[in-house]
């Protein structure tokens, strides 16, 4: 199954994508994580992406489409995948169609902007493997340490309040039009993000036809 998870920054997309990936044993493909990795490694892509990301804007379609194309060509994506953070613009959605990638379902996690602004302040990400946590909603077992790899969990630069405001604006202007694109194809399903991660997980898994164990 080829899935897309849509949602504003801080809506909990990454967390839900992890849950779906686990339930359906398909890889979670996060363009945000891949770009942060490129920034960390100082690759050519990374150098171009860094400033844009820190300002809350979008990395150019060319770069992101290139990264995504290479990633879904890998073996582990043959039996399906969940895209987390891609597409983020209508041209990116069109690029998937042009690549001949068949999308089965698009799940939107809806959370109001005001809720997002308060939530993002508690978000932490692992420097080592990119796993995401939240001090209140999804704490790591040991504070500041990643459960998965033992790396340090930190506040992302783009999670500063002013940057969050520009990221929300970017989302509404550039990403939301994608909803209509997929709605017309009858593929869009909206899940209302709940306060409890587990509750949202139940709704999200149901939307993709997977059961919680």
Q: Which stretch binds ligand ADP (CB under 6 A): 31-39, 74-82, 136-144, 186-194?
A: 31-39
Q: Which of 88, 105, 119, 124 binds ligand ADP (CB under 6 A)?
A: 88
* CB atoms near residue 98 (< 10 Å): 10
CB of 42 to ligand ADP, least distance (A): 16
| 52 upstream amide cis, omega within 30 of 0 | no
* Residue placing its CB nearer to ligand ADP in the complex, 105 or 167: 167
Q: Tell me which of ligand ADP, Zn ion, none is bound by residue 9, counting a contact when its beta carbon lies within the kind-specific cut-off of 5 to 8 angstroms.
A: ligand ADP
Question: Bridge partners of 3?
Answer: 82, 105
In the bound complex, what is the minimum distance in angstroms from residue 144's beta carbon to ligand ADP? 20
Cβ proximity of 199 and 138 under 8 Å: no
Catalytic residue among 156, 179, 187, 202: 156
Angle between helical axes of 44-54 and 31-41 (0-180°, round to 10): 110
**Shortest distance (Å) from residue 131 CB to Zn ion:** 5
User: In angstroms, rounded to a whole number, what is the distance separating the alpha carbons of residues 26 and 205?
Assistant: 13
Greatest Cα pair distance, the chain, in angstroms, is 45
Which residues are CB-contacts of 95 (< 8 A; sequence separation ≥ 6)?
61, 65, 68, 87
Residue tagged active-site, from 50, 123, 124, 201: 123
Is residue 13 among the annotated active site residues? yes
Smallest gap from Cβ 149 to Zn ion, in A, equals 3
Contact positions vs ligand ADP (CB under 6 A): 9-10, 13, 31-32, 35, 52-53, 57-59, 64, 85-86, 88, 92, 158, 167
């Amino acid at each position: 199954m080829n899935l897309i998870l849509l949602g504003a920054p801080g809506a909990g997309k990454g967390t839900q994508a992890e849950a779906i990936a686990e339930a359906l044993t398909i890889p979670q493909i996060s363009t945000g994580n891949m770009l942060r990795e490129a920034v960390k490694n100082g690759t050519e892509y990374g150098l171009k992406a860094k400033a844009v990301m820190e300002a809350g804007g979008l990395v150019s379609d060319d770069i992101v489409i290139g990264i995504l194309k290479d990633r879904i060509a890998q073996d582990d994506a043959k039996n399906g995948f969940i895209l987390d953070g891609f597409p983020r613009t209508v041209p990116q959605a069109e690029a998937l169609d042009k690549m001949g990638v068949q999308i089965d379902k698009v799940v939107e996690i809806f959370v109001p902007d005001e809720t997002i602004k308060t939530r993002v302040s508690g978000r932490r990400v692992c420097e080592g493997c990119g796993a995401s946590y939240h001090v209140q909603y999804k704490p790591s077992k040991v504070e500041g340490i990643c459960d998965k790899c033992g790396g340090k969990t930190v506040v992302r630069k783009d999670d500063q309040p002013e940057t969050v405001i520009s990221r929300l604006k970017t989302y509404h202007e550039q990403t939301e039009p994608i909803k209509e694109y997929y709605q017309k194809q009858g593929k869009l399903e909206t899940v209302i993000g709940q306060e409890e991660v587990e509750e949202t997980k139940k709704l999200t898994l149901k939307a993709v036809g997977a059961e919680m164990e």
